[in-house]
Amino acid sequence: MSSEKRIAKALAISTDTKAFEMGQGIYEKASEVFLKYFPGRKAVIVADINTWPVLGERVYENFVAAGIQADKYIIEKEEFHADWKYVEMVDLVVEGRYEEAKNLEKATAYEDTDPARLVKDASDDYNVLVSVGSGVINDLCKLASHHHAQSYVCVPTAASVDGYSSFGASITYLSAKQTFNCPAPVAIVADIEVIAAAPKEMTAAGYADLAAKIPAGGEWMISDFVGSELIQDDAWHILQDYIDDFLADPDAVAAGDPQAIADLFEGLTLSGFAMQAARSSRPASCCDHLFSHFLDMSGHRFNGKLQSHGFQVAIGTLTMCAAFDELFKLDLTQLDVEACIAAWPSLESEQARALELFKDTAAPNLGYESITSKYEDKEKVRQDLEKLVATWPEFKAKLQGQVYSFAKMQDMFRRAGAPYETEHIGVTREQIRDMFPIVQLMRYRYNLLDIAKRGQFYDAIVDPIFAKGGAWEC
């Protein structure tokens, strides 16, 4: 299927995005789509000190030349993430309160505010945001626009994340990375000439973020298997039918080949459309992303710098591929279901375990809330395990058809320029090992580690990863 047909198919199932323009030198189409979807409204071009000279200034000048009333807001802080403080800053930009926004941007003391306080009724008096940048700027503009009951236009500058077109914004609130429900942009204008010229590490991060959909897809299959979050056909097929092709040439991605970058960006965008169709991030992430979220929550830095989302996800993705490798070595037809049921702990003991695991983190109640949401009684666990025993050969074959081996994924990351060893992001293998119990409980979302806990084979898939000869031998 051609790119044009894939995009048309994706737009047909998207709930928020109505226009997706992609090509060489097409940034000027941003003003055209703005006039189409926001006639008579005032635009604010939101960029940072890096993306303003790369593209933001040209977009601003194009808007002015097109007769659109436009302002600009340039984030001057050299290093910033999608923290709640900056959401509130962009909320002020929507309302035209630029001086207050700049004061908040520069503030050193800040406490996260109640999200409900930022929600406003729609008004044509608000500015319409035009996000010019990568994932962080887009997420800030996405949530701030939602707070004001309106959409926005996205002009990406790198193929670094899948969040441009996704439903939801990944924001750190009260020290924990959370996905806030909010619509994707009404229009995306992707100038491949600009995106292909982005720093190579940003492109490599995007490649890793797209590759994460491989093990994440396997974990969605497991969730579907137990009846937790069922696979939605349109959300699954719009990306998973083509993802192998999008990932097929990591060398060309590393070389900055425009067609390879266009394919990568299309894959990331289709991932976002899948999230729109599902109204959640289930099609795009699971444990692979939770390793990254924990590092964010811990304030992890390497050589004094925050690591990119995609680079951290790369290590999470490799780790989950290794876990699947170990899963496939097991003969679960021999599982002793009665012994598993006898060993299954009570909700109270699981809650106590979660509180102990998270007690020294920035979000001490996170695990408690997650296990309370996804805990199942012994009868449901029995049903799931009996089904697993009865169908394991067939289900295993389906999972193997979905998930790449650790060795294959590691080679692809090495060739694409993404991290392929834990030390590449300043994390030890021992740290990854210690994250496993926390990762299992970081979200309500059913994952591989959940079914392993229920089936008493958790240690059998985790311990070998770090043993002699394992993927992360330590």
In the predicted model, is pLDDT for residue 79 greater than 90? no
pLDDT tens for each residue of 412-440: 999 999 999 999 999 999 999 999 999 99
Paired strand residues for 317: none
**Contact status, residue 267 vs residue 248, Cβ threshold 8 Å:** no
**Mean pLDDT throughout 40-47?**
98
Which residue is it, tokens 């999230």? 275
Give pTM, 2 decimals. 0.92
Q: How far apart are CA 317 and CA 322, in angstroms?
A: 9
Is pLDDT above 90 for 81? no
Does pLDDT of 26 surpass 90? yes
**What is the 8-class DSSP label of residue 245?**
H
CB atoms within 10 A of CB 355: 14
User: Would the pLDDT of 41 be above 90?
Assistant: yes
For residue 4, give every residue at least 6 positions away whose Cβ sits within 8 Å of its Cβ, in sequence order, or none. none
Q: Is residue 1 scored above 90 in pLDDT?
A: no
Residue indicated by tokens 């491949």: 192
C-alpha distances out from residue 199 to 133, 182, 194, Å: 13, 29, 10
pLDDT band at 452 (very low <50, low <70, confident <90, very high): very high
Q: β-strands 301-302, 305-306: how paired?
A: antiparallel
Give residue-wise pLDDT tens across range 344-401: 999 999 999 999 999 999 899 999 999 999 999 999 999 999 999 999 999 999 999 9
The whole-number pLDDT of residue 78 equals 87
Q: Residue 163 burial by CB count (10 A; 0-12/13-18/19+): exposed, middle or buried?
A: buried
Dihedral angle computed from the Cα positions of residues 444, 178, 174 and 85, in that order, rounded to the nearest 10 degrees? -170
Q: What is the pLDDT of residues 271-316, one digit of tens each?
A: 999 999 999 999 999 999 999 999 998 989 999 998 999 999 999 9
Confidence class of residue 214 from pLDDT cuts 50, 70 and 90? very high
Instruction: Give the three-class secondary structure for 171.
Output: strand
169-213 pLDDT per residue, tens:
989 888 888 889 999 999 999 999 999 999 999 999 999 999 999
C-alpha distances (whole Å) from 102 to each of 43, 144, 463 are: 18, 16, 49
**Pairwise CA distance, residues 7 & 273, whole Å:** 10
